[in-house]
Amino acid sequence: MDDPSLVWLLLAAATGIGGWLLGRQAGRHERPPGSRDYQLGLDHLLHGRLDAALKVLDGVASGDDDALELQFALGSLFRKRGEVDRATGLHELLVNHQSESVRERAGFELALDFVAAGLFDRAEQRLQQLAAAGSYRVNAQLQLLRLCEIQSDWLGALRLHQELPATVQRERAAIAAHYLCELADQALLTGEAGRTGDLLDEAGRYAADSPRIAFLRARLADKAGSRSAAQGFYQRAGELRPALRASLEEAAAQFRCEECGFDSGAWLWRCPRCYSWDRFAKRG
């Protein structure tokens, strides 16, 4: 059975675009092109016949330049349904559109299709082209950052972070601190105490009140045999993030990502499902 949320997503998109077209054409006292097909598509949607609705509305979108927004809505829906081939096919047609803005948007959506399909090399190539110039430059840079995160390329993520506009860098400073903490965590595991401390110092310049920095300093102090210092850092980490304190004090604590609802029996800095940072909270 089709996901009802996806049915309503497409219904909202089709209704909105159809209404816009009706309003646009009303001023000219003309019958909107493809209005019968819109009505048929909406009828299919209302009765749960999603495949039939997609077929009709896809045909309307393909034949009417005024329905570009619907074409993009369909592409997004195909991708969310896991029909990446259909999304890719639609966006590959749109990258040849006569309008540069449409080509850029289609190129960005195509990159998202490649990410969804696990074709990271093709996604990266497309995103690098968009990141070089144009209206999708920042969006492309952020998606390249996401690719680095998915592949745990923390040095690459730091480099890309430093190429972002200054305002975006400030907004994402806490995430950049996580990149350095990931590197510090690796250094700590390999016994590189000096490098660990240096990386944490650098992370502190991005986010001085990061609970993760305090947590890693506690582990570093533990390894050095300084238990009192470690306790102080653990306390500081717990003050900054109360849910983290639960992971340190309660053996059976349960946590949930507030972004996507992923459940975990252990504290996580980043959600493995939606890749969001700092979104875990204690359940119950």
pLDDT tens readout for residues 239-268: 999 888 888 888 888 999 999 999 999 999
Sheet with 280-282, side-by-side order of all strands? 263-264, 255-257, 280-282
- 150 near 173, Cβ under 8 Å? no
Confidence (pLDDT) at 157 = 97
Q: What average pLDDT does the structure give for the chain?
A: 84
Percent over 70 (pLDDT), the chain? 76
Residue of 170 and 52 predicted with greater confidence: 170
Confidence (pLDDT) at 220 = 97
Q: In Å, how far are 216, 219, 227, 234 from 222, measured between CA atoms?
A: 10, 5, 6, 10
What does DSSP say about strands 263-264 and 255-257: parallel, antiparallel, or unpaired?
antiparallel
Distance CA 138, CA 136 (A): 6
84 falls in which pLDDT band (50, 70, 90)? very high
Confidence (pLDDT) at 38 = 59
Residue of 117 and 21 predicted with greater confidence: 117
Side-chain-side CA neighbours of 268 within 13 Å: the count stands at 20
Per-residue pLDDT, averaged over 62-69, amounts to 59
- Please give the backbone phi and psi of residue 30, each rounded to the nearest 5 degrees, phi first: -120, 155
Burial of 28 (0-12, 13-18, 19+ CB in 10 A): exposed
Per-residue pLDDT, averaged over 206-225, amounts to 96
Residue of 32 and 112 predicted with greater confidence: 112
Task: Annotate 162-193 with b (16+ C-beta within 10 A) or e (fewer).
Answer: eebeeeeeeebeebbbbbbbbbbbebbeeeee
Confidence (pLDDT) at 70 = 76
273: tokens are 């499902």
Distance CA 143, CA 173 (A): 17
Q: Which of 18-27, 70-79, 219-228 has the lowest mean pLDDT?
A: 18-27
- In the chain, the domains with their CATH numbers are 4-169 (1.25.40.10), 173-282 (1.25.40.10)
Percent over 90 (pLDDT), the chain? 60
How many residues does the structure list for the chain?
284
Instruction: Look at residue 11 and tell me whether its pLDDT is greater than 50.
Output: yes
pLDDT tens readout for residues 34-65: 556 656 665 665 555 656 665 665 565 554 55
Per-residue pLDDT, averaged over 202-212, amounts to 96
CA dihedral of 109, 113, 119, 123, whole degrees rounded to 10 = 10
Q: How many CB atoms lie within 10 A of CB 258?
A: 13
